[in-house]
Chains A and B, each alone.
Chain A
Amino acid sequence: MVVPSDLVQQAFLSFIGTFGFALLYQVPRKVLLMCAVVGMGGYVLRSFLFQMGLDWEVATFFGALFVGLVGTWPARHFQLPLVLFAITGIICMVPGIAAYKVLVYFNQGDILGGLKSAIEAGFDVVALVCGIGAARILTDSEWGFERSSK
């Protein structure tokens, strides 16, 4: 079930989130807003697909794929490192909270809760990683084909 008001709120919050981390990572001024937009796009796409009924991990994969693919355009245009957009773009989707929960649960003796959190965080990370990796293989021939000559 798609809830547009939720998506608008999430768009706003993920924009702020990506923007803040872009500042922390010293992203050059001219692409600061674009970074935040790419991050917002990835996050909203993930939420949208999840609301459409896709699995959380699959939605995360497509969110990360979006970030990886869309980020290549401004990177090429401004001749900036590709990794700049990938890193700031996915920061909102990194399961930081689930990862922190793991040890807190274990410390409280809740082994099942800890394992559940760990597996959730692990699946999320793998989905992100696959999305970014797939985007890079699709857009960069240096990644897609292994050649020894540089």
Chain B
Amino acid sequence: MTLPAERPPLTLPELVEIMQVVMRVGVLMLKSGTISFRVEQAMHRVAVGLGAERLDAYVTLTGITASLHCGDQHYTQISRVTSLGVDMHRLSAVEYLSLHLPEAATPTQICTLLDQIEQSPPPYPDGLVIAGVAAACGAFALLSGGQWMDGCAACFSSALGLRLRMLLQHQHLNSIAITVICAAVATLICGGIVKILALFQITSPLPQSSFLAAVLFQVPGMLLVTATLDLVRLDLISGLARVTYALIQLFSVAIGILIVMTFTNLSIL
């Protein structure tokens, strides 16, 4: 990669300023849940677009290390990344920005654009998301061999579980704790619904499908795919970190289910 002829070499303060923007792009993309390779790509595009000669970024699940080079100047920075989530809306916006940088962009200009992306409201209201996920969990109960009452039970309990999850996430509780609590609550509600339906002589031949579908809103499907893609790219550290995180989430859900089973004599299988 050669330096565009018309631009003079950057000074160290300029390099530092560019690095702040590049890091922000990287952290935003990583937090939105994309794979390490894409984060590196976007950071590289922004760095070169702002006039740097070369960027070496090392992206893991929980932090980014990057060195920015220009002429005989270089600058290295580390950023920690916490509160990982999935937000395709933000991810698409940041990636689009990195692909379509404005002509002769300045770091301040891109910072403003990133501010706009960060402050843009989520595309769907919470109520709609809950309704969609509840319907999805109901559908999964039916797909795994349940009857209509299993679908209803999974639908209601996952809706309440997800609502609780959103509330707790708003309080910034530890994510493992959130997962355990929400799995327990969803299982408990599902058990309650099954018992109430039984009072009206409505029993399902396969009630376990409702219990297991009720907690599916916490399935780490996203991490599974990104872990795969990281591993295929041989980003081993990042890939293994994602596999570990996915397993922790699965275990947390199972622990939530087991707590409820122990105290309520529910039989799930």
Q: Are the chains A and B members of one assembly? A: yes
Inside 8 A of A91's CB, which chain B residues have their CB?
A: 219, 221
Inside 8 A of B34's CB, which chain A residues have their CB?
A: 81, 83
Interface stretch, picked from B12-20, B90-98, B105-113, B193-201, is B90-98
Mostly, the B contact residues are: helix
CA distance A146 to B144 in the complex (A): 40
Contact A79 B96 (CB under 8 A): yes
Name the distance in Å between A70's Cβ and chain B's nearest Cβ. Answer: 15
Known A29-B123, A83-B35, A86-B225: A104·B219 in contact at CB below 8 Å: no
Residue of B nearest to A100 (CB): B212
B182 part of interface (Cβ distance < 8 Å): no
Inside 8 A of B233's CB, which chain A residues have their CB?
A: 143
CA distance A16 to B41 in the complex (A): 34
Contact B268 A104 (CB under 8 A): yes
Mostly, the A contact residues are: helix
A128 part of interface (Cβ distance < 8 Å): yes
A59 part of interface (Cβ distance < 8 Å): no
Contact B133 A21 (CB under 8 A): yes
The one of A23, A25, A105 in contact with B222, judged by C-beta atoms closer than 8 angstroms, is: A25
Inside 8 A of A90's CB, which chain B residues have their CB?
A: 221, 225
Q: Which residues of A contact B (CB under 8 A)?
A: 10, 13-14, 16-29, 79-81, 83-84, 86-88, 90-92, 94, 96-97, 99-105, 107-108, 110, 113, 125, 128-129, 132-133, 136-137, 142-143, 146, 149-150
